[in-house]
Structure 1
Amino acid sequence: MAIEKVREYFKQYGMEDRILEMEQSSATVELAALAVGVEPARIAKTLSFKKGEETILVVTAGDRKIDNAKYKHYFGLKAKMLTPDEVLERVGHAIGGVCPFAVPKEVQVYLDESMKRFETVYPACGSGNSAIGLTCEELEKYSNSKAWVDVCKPM
């Protein structure tokens, strides 16, 4: 189960106990916000894209959408999301629990600037009923992100 991989990943940092497992679903931004008890914008959603054979994850604030022109400018091609089967195969987490933790080394993780307005954000942890509260600095560190990017539409 993917949440166990994420728990094991965080164990090396002594942070596995910070993972929240809820009884209710947190598989969408709205459900996650209700489960965690925060505004939807503070849910750090992880979007999965393909760049040829490469896999790109972009973590954004829950209230933002990808701006195709910005995405193309930064990554050099049109945003093309992975299918649910491709996400599971390439990232190792199913839709609803996709996160930037415990992913294959070749998966490239980017963090969108939209999250920087919050002290803490809540990404999933590999299952459709999990999350972890992290500062943006912690998210940057533990996601092994390549860079902060600005690829979302403004409010």
Structure 2
Amino acid sequence: MSFEKVVEHLREKGLEDRISEFDVSSATVSLAAEAVGCRSNQIAKTLSFKDREGNPFLIVVSGDAKINNRKFKDEFAYKAKMLSAEEVVNLVGHAVGGVCPFAIKDGCRVYLDESLKAEEIIYPAAGSANSAVKLTIEDLEKASDFERWVNVTQ
């Protein structure tokens, strides 16, 4: 169901022809890179957090990037707290392994991390654990309805 919603979302943005489905899992960065045939830093992983009030938000980062807790706290003024797998499904609308910044539940904000800008083409998931979508940074900005760019990785 999540995959179909993402396809529809990307269709509305004129990007549905960029989606790939695989016969193998793409649920982790290494599996996604293998399925796509790219380097791990070209995978755009979507991390799920909650703010102080418990509201969900996503940060899309390069596949080889890690959250830097100091930078996160400087950016958001509180300590990073990731959502549980159950919370991800309930608050974001995608299951872990297919989380992406497209076709998400209302009230879930999206931020893009500067680490993504190192690559011209990136591959976020497309709502399932065996899919990806090939995008430029401009396409990602257009498709994700993001709030702003952040620098929270090392």
TM, length-normalised to structure 1 = 0.96
Is 2:104 aligned against 1:103? yes
**Which runs of 4 or more aligned residues in structure 1 lie more than 2 Å from their structure 2 counterparts after TM superposition?**
none
Is residue 13–residue 143 contact of structure 2 (8 Å, CA) maintained in 1?
A: no
User: What does 1:45-124 align with in structure 2 at a 5 Å threshold?
Assistant: 45-51=45-51, 52-124=53-125
Q: What residue identity is the alignment partner of 2:44?
A: A
Distance 2:140 2:12 in 1: 15
Aligned to 1:136: 137
Q: How far does residue 15 in structure 1 lie from its aligned partner after superposition?
A: 2.1
Q: How far does residue 17 in structure 1 lie from its aligned partner after superposition?
A: 2.4
Secondary structure of the residue that 1:8 maps to in structure 2? helix
Q: How far does residue 54 in structure 1 lie from its aligned partner after superposition?
A: 1.2
Aligned Cα root-mean-square deviation (Å): 0.8
Distance 1:43 1:9 in 2: 20
Q: Which runs of 5+ in 2 are unaligned?
A: none
- Number of paired residues? 153
Aligned to 2:42: 42
Secondary structure of the residue that 1:131 maps to in structure 2? strand
- CA shift digits 1:69-117 (9 cap, x unpaired): 1001101110000000000000000000000000123111000000101
Identity %, equivalent residues:
55
Secondary structure of the residue that 2:9 maps to in structure 1? helix
Distance 2:5 2:136 in 1: 21
Q: Which runs of 5+ in 1 are unaligned?
A: none
Secondary structure of the residue that 1:115 maps to in structure 2? helix
